[in-house]
């Protein structure tokens, strides 16, 4: 049995900023290549890691642009809903989205934690999914499955399951924190567009080949090549290969370098600014419980900077809103 995994296709009718090619034509070519690979390898099913379209309810014109290509995929398409498939990233809205509609129509099969079994008489596969929701990376429980009544268990996820730490600013789950707890032979993940090198822990694989499309012009997107994964199952054995898409172009041919340099410049400026703020607000300042005193102290240290007036106005506006929300000045600590 062969299965094809593809993720984050973000089908859309307009080009994102920073793309220099005919983006819709590129999307069609890539989707066409996925359909051709599915046919060439006679896959039993195509597995999709979520974010099929870029918005939850695209216009019918956009849907129609891709419908004939999606129809070329003869194998059933199993998909886990991603955040872009949902209104406000809320799973409860699924039935009001295109993906929910396609699921009910039977065009796609929606995956969740209830197992679905694929059986070709040779291999029996347990298929489960972890759809996106706000708390998917709180504790990692969604990434953990039990393997039952099958030769191979595959879990398809749309969350920030990552191979390395990303610092305190984003929520994520480390593969190493859940690897010993899940019984899935393959955990196939979308959502983190850059993907990572295949991870293997005690014979269990954790794969994210990256998004099918490069939507932003970040250095990571510039240097990577869109790919899909082909999994071959025989008895209880499994192997897989990453297939780089022939229809993709090198990043610097389709992404605007000017935008990349602008982004790098902004990131540098932001770092400089944060550095200044850190120097002004030495740790003792934050041990005080009076948030207004902390704000005043940080602002006072910035008086010489040209952006001072604008920053002060914005900070005070936000602070007033926070006080308002919290009940007319009842906030006494941050």
Q: Which residue is nearest to Mn ion, using beta carbons?
A: 51
The mark string for 23-62 relative to Mn ion (x by CB under 5 A, - otherwise) is ----------------------------x-----------
* Among candidate residues 210, 231, 249, the one with its CA nearest the CA of residue 30: 249
Distance of closest approach, residue 221 Cβ to Mn ion, in angstroms: 12
Cα(220)–Cα(162) distance, rounded to whole angstroms? 15
Count of other CB atoms within 10 angstroms of residue 1: 21
- Which C-beta is closer to Mn ion: that of 83 or that of 126? 83
Candidate list 1, 3, 5, 8; residue touching Mn ion; CB under 5 A:
8
- Which C-beta is closer to Mn ion: that of 51 or that of 142? 51
Distance of closest approach, residue 194 Cβ to Mn ion, in angstroms: 11
Distance of closest approach, residue 102 Cβ to Mn ion, in angstroms: 17
Contact yes or no for 161/206 (Cβ under 8 A): yes
- Which C-beta is closer to Mn ion: that of 160 or that of 174? 160
Task: Give, in order, the Cα–Cα distances in Å from 212 to each of 17, 81, 269.
Answer: 17, 16, 31
Helix (H) or strand (E) holding 48: strand 45-48
Q: At what angle do helices 291-300 and 308-325 cross, to 10 degrees?
A: 170
Q: How many residues bind Mn ion (CB under 5 A)?
A: 2
Please list, in sequence order, all residues whose beta carbon lies within 8 angstroms of the beta carbon of residue 142, skipping any fewer than 6 positions away: 113, 130, 133, 136, 157, 159
- Which C-beta is closer to Mn ion: that of 77 or that of 123? 77
Cα(156)–Cα(233) distance, rounded to whole angstroms? 16
- Which C-beta is closer to Mn ion: that of 10 or that of 147? 10
- Which C-beta is closer to Mn ion: that of 30 or that of 147? 30
Grouping H, G, I as helix, E, B as strand and the rest as coil, residue 196 is: strand
Q: At what angle do helices 23-40 and 60-71 cross, to 10 degrees?
A: 30
The mark string for 251-290 relative to Mn ion (x by CB under 5 A, - otherwise) is ----------------------------------------
Distance of closest approach, residue 160 Cβ to Mn ion, in angstroms: 11
Window contacting Mn ion (CB under 5 A); options: 1-9, 26-34, 133-141, 213-221: 1-9
- Which C-beta is closer to Mn ion: that of 8 or that of 185? 8
Distance of closest approach, residue 220 Cβ to Mn ion, in angstroms: 14
* Among candidate residues 13, 14, 6, 23, the one with its CA nearest the CA of residue 214: 23
- Which C-beta is closer to Mn ion: that of 49 or that of 140? 49
Q: Contact between 221 and Mn ion (CB under 5 A)? A: no
Window contacting Mn ion (CB under 5 A); options: 8-16, 28-36, 202-210, 267-275: 8-16
Distance of closest approach, residue 190 Cβ to Mn ion, in angstroms: 6
Cα(171)–Cα(151) distance, rounded to whole angstroms? 33
Cα(73)–Cα(290) distance, rounded to whole angstroms? 61
Q: Locate 20 and state its tokens.
A: 């220099």
Q: Given the rule CB under 5 A, which residues bind Mn ion?
A: 8, 51
């Amino acid at each position: 049995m062969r299965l094809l995994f593809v993720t984050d296709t973000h089908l859309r009718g307009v080009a994102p900023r920073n793309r220099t090619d005919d983006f819709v034509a590129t999307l069609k070519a890539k989707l066409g290549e996925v359909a051709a690979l599915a046919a060439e390898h006679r896959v039993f099913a195509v597995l999709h890691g979520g974010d099929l379209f870029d918005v939850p309810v695209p216009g019918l014109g956009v849907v129609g642009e891709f419908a004939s290509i999606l129809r070329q995929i003869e194998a059933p398409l199993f998909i886990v809903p991603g955040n872009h498939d949902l209104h406000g990233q809320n799973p409860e809205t699924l039935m009001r989205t295109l993906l929910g509609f396609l699921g009910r129509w039977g065009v796609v099969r929606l995956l969740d934690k209830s197992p679905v079994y694929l059986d070709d008489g040779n291999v029996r596969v347990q298929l489960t999914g972890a759809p996106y929701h706000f708390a998917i990376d709180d504790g990692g429980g969604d990434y953990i499955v039990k393997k039952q009544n099958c030769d191979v268990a595959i879990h398809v996820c749309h969350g920030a399951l990552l191979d390395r730490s990303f610092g305190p600013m984003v929520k994520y789950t480390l593969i190493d924190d859940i690897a010993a707890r899940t019984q899935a032979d393959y955990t196939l993940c979308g959502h983190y567009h850059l993907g990572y090198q295949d991870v293997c822990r005690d014979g269990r694989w954790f794969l994210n080949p990256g998004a099918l499309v490069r939507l932003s012009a970040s250095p990571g997107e510039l240097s990577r090549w869109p790919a899909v994964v082909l999994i071959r199952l025989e008895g209880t054995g499994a192997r897989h290969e990453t297939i780089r898409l022939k229809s993709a172009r090198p990043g610097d041919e389709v992404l605007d370098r000017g935008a990349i340099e602008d982004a790098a410049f902004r990131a540098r400026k932001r770092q400089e600014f944060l550095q200044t703020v850190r120097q002004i607000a030495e740790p003792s300042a934050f041990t005080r419980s009076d948030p207004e005193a902390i704000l005043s102290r940080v602002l006072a240290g910035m008086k010489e900077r040209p952006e001072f007036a604008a920053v002060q106005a914005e900070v005070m506006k936000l602070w007033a809103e926070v006080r308002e929300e919290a009940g007319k000045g009842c906030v006494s600590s941050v």
